[in-house]
Amino acid sequence: MARADWKKILCPIDFSPPSLRALEFALTLAKESGGRFILLHALEMQTDEMMFGENTHYTVPEYLRYIRDDAQKRMDALVPAAARTWCTPERRLPSGTPYRQILSVAEETGADLIVMGVAGRAGFSTMVLGSTTNQVLRAATCPVLTVRS
C-alpha cells in the first residue's frame, strides 16, 4: 500500500477534546510524511456581554490582546517538545468565522490535508445551519480528514 505524502497539513483546533484528538493524529501524519504542520485557531469576535460581562472593565483592544495571547500560549503548550525536534509548527490565529478562516488558510498555504476533530452525530440544528466541519467538508479544495473522539 502506498503511503500518502502530505507536505502541508492544516489542523484547526478549538481546544475541545475532539480537536485535541485530531491534533495528535495530525502530528503523527506530519511526522510520518515529513510534512509542514500548521496549527490554526480562529478568534471569533464576541458580543460585548460575552466579552465583558456585567462587572469587568476591559477595553476592546485589551480584551482582544488577552484572548490572542491566551490562545497563543495554549497552542504552544499543545505541541509536544519531541515534535519540535522534527518540525517547526506554524501557528495561525486569524480573526473571523472559523470555517471561513480554515478555508482561507488552507488555500493561502496550499494545504494538502485538513485534519479536524468531530464530536459525533449532529442534531437537527447542525443539519439545517451547518457546523464548522460540515462547512469545511463542503467547500475545501483539498482532502479533509475528520477524527472522531
Q: Which domains does the chain have, with CATH numbers?
A: 8-148 (3.40.50.620)
Give pLDDT tens digits for 67-95.
999 999 999 999 998 888 888 889 999 99
Average pLDDT, the chain: 85
Identify the helix (H) or strand (E) that includes residue 99.
helix 98-109
Which residues, 6 or more positions from 129, have their beta carbon under 8 angstroms from its beta carbon? none
Which tens digits make up the pLDDT trace of 78-137?
Answer: 999 888 888 888 999 999 999 999 999 999 999 999 999 987 665 544 544 458 999 999
Supply the pTM of this predicted model: 0.84
- Measure CA 67 to chain center: 15
